[in-house]
Amino acid sequence: MIHVTAGAYRDGEQIRFRVWAPQTKQMNLICQRTELATFQMEPDDEGYFSLTLPWQDEVCRYQYAPDGQGPFPDPASHFQPEGVHGYSQFVDHTRFPWTDNEWRGRAFEHLILYELHVGTFTPEGTFEAIIPRLAALADLGINAIELMPVSEFPGSRNWGYDGVFPYSVHSAYGGPDRLKALVDAAHALGISVFLDIVINHIGPEGNYLGHFGPYFTDKYATPWGKAINLDGEWSDGVRDYFSDLILFWSEYYHLDGLRLDAIHEIFDKGAFSFWELVHEKLRTHQQYSGRVFHLIAESDLNSPRVVKPVQIGGMGFEAQWLDDFHHALYVLLDEKGRDRYIDFGTIGQLAKAYKDGFVHSGGYVEFRKRKHGVSSAGVGGAAFVVFNLNHDQAGNRAGGERLSQLVDPARQKVAMAALMLSPYVPMLFMGEEYGEDTPFFFFVSHTDPELIRAVIEGRQNEFKDFGDGQEPRNPQDEETFLHSKIHWEKRSEDPYADLLAWTKRLITLRQTHAALRNFDKDGVAVDVLTDKALLLKRTSRDERATLYCYINFSDEKLTFSLPEEAHWHLILDSPEHAQTKTGSARNIDGPGVKVFSNVPHGI
Are 205 and 158 contacting, i.e. CB atoms less than 8 angstroms apart? no
Are 389 and 352 contacting, i.e. CB atoms less than 8 angstroms apart? no
Distance of CA 195 to the CA centre of its chain: 7
Cα(17)–Cα(74) distance, integer angstroms = 10
Helix (H, G, I), strand (E, B) or coil at 123: coil
Cα(154)–Cα(335) distance, integer angstroms = 39
The amino acid sitting at 354 is Y
Q: State the catalytic residue, choosing from 115, 256, 265, 298.
A: 298
For residue 71, say if its preceding peptide bond is cis, omega within 30 degrees of 0. yes
Q: What is the DSSP letter of 376?
A: -
Query: Is 298 one of the annotated active-site residues of the chain?
Result: yes
For residue 439, say if its preceding peptide bond is cis, omega within 30 degrees of 0. no
Give 457's contacts (C-beta < 8 A, 6+ positions apart).
none
**Total length of the chain:** 603
Phi–psi pair at 268, nearest 5 degrees: -160, 115
* Angle of CA points 330, 331, 334, to nearest 5°: 85
Query: Is 489 one of the annotated active-site residues of the chain?
Result: no
Cα(470)–Cα(439) distance, integer angstroms = 14
Name which of 336, 329, 366, 331 is nearest 350 in CA terms.
329
Q: What is the largest CA-CA distance in the chain?
A: 84
Phi–psi pair at 2, nearest 5 degrees: -75, 160
Are 158 and 444 contacting, i.e. CB atoms less than 8 angstroms apart? yes
Cα(95)–Cα(93) distance, integer angstroms = 6
Name which of 83, 79, 65 is nearest 26 in CA terms.
65
Q: Is 224 exposed, middle or buried (0-12, 13-18, 19+ CB in 10 A)?
A: middle
3-state secondary structure 262-312: CHHHCCCCCCCCHHHHHHHHHHHHHHHHCCCCEEEECCCCCCHHHHCCHHH
The amino acid sitting at 477 is D
Give 326's contacts (C-beta < 8 A, 6+ positions apart).
386, 387, 388, 390, 393
Q: State the catalytic residue, choosing from 177, 244, 261, 401.
A: 261
Cα(303)–Cα(299) distance, integer angstroms = 8
Give 314's contacts (C-beta < 8 A, 6+ positions apart).
275, 304, 305, 306, 307, 308
Q: Which residues are catalytic?
A: 261, 298
